[in-house]
Amino acid sequence: MKILIDRSEVDRRIGEMAREIATDYAGSPPLLIGILNGAAQFMMALLDHLPGDMLEQIDYDFVDVSSYRGSESMGRVELTKDLVVSVEGRQVLIVDGIVDTGRSLAFVLDLVSARRPCSLKTCTLLDKSARRVVPLVVDYRGFEIEDVFVVGYGMDYDQRYRALRYIAAIE
Ligand code: IMP
Ligand code: MG
């Protein structure tokens, strides 16, 4: 493994993103929707950096999706855990750890937008935009990375290395 983004750089950037989100949503705090498991650590870190008065009005929930890797259904995404909260009329911010082909995020965007939120934006810690298959708008992006397989900060390799506080590339 090779460290791609060290702990202090990840922390610094998440702080910056949180300040941007706090400014954009001033007076109307968002409902955060994290995509499991990759977004969990990042979403908690974002919350750590948001101002205390905003936290009084912030809610969050999680969804989980899985994508088929088999040849026939390649690229198909399925919902494995739905939301508990209602998104209708809310300012929703979808949070993911990494956007690769974009299929997972596009799927969650469709799911949420059908439930009529009053606004809908996206946020990801890492973006491999060169690999995008489904075009989508990423409103808040932590780092643009090359087409390498990464672990850490929620990202796993066979369910391992999620808890790392830095981002590393598997060689
Ligand atoms: P997408 O649907 O192709 O955008 O894939 C997004 C999902 O694939 C992420 O939520 C991760 O679970 C997984 N993924 C994509 N690239 C990586 C990587 O480099 N490391 C770990 N997981 C990844
Ligand atoms: Mg995932």
For 114-170, what is each residue's pLDDT tens digit?
Answer: 999 999 999 999 999 999 999 999 999 999 999 999 999 999 999 999 999 999 999
Which residue type does 6 have?
Answer: D
Q: How far is the CA of 111 from the centre of ligand 1 (A)?
A: 19
Q: Which of 155, 160, 164, 167 to mutate to test the pocket of ligand 1 (most atoms within 8 A of CB)?
A: 155
Which three-class secondary structure state does DSSP give residue 37? coil
Contact between residue 167 and residue 1 where contact means Cβ atoms under 8 Å apart = no
Structure tokens at 85: 């909260």
User: Does ligand 1 come within 6 angstroms of the Cβ of 101?
Assistant: yes
Whether 100 sits among the annotated catalytic residues: the reply is yes
Q: Which of 100, 109, 157, 167 to mutate to test the pocket of ligand 1 (most atoms within 8 A of CB)?
A: 100
Which three-class secondary structure state does DSSP give residue 138? coil
Residue nearest to atom 20 of ligand 1 (CA): 150
pTM of the model: 0.96
pLDDT digits (tens, 9 = 90+) for 1-17: 999 999 999 999 999 99
Which three-class secondary structure state does DSSP give residue 151? strand
Query: What's the number of CA atoms in the CB half-sphere (13 Å) around residue 138?
Result: 27
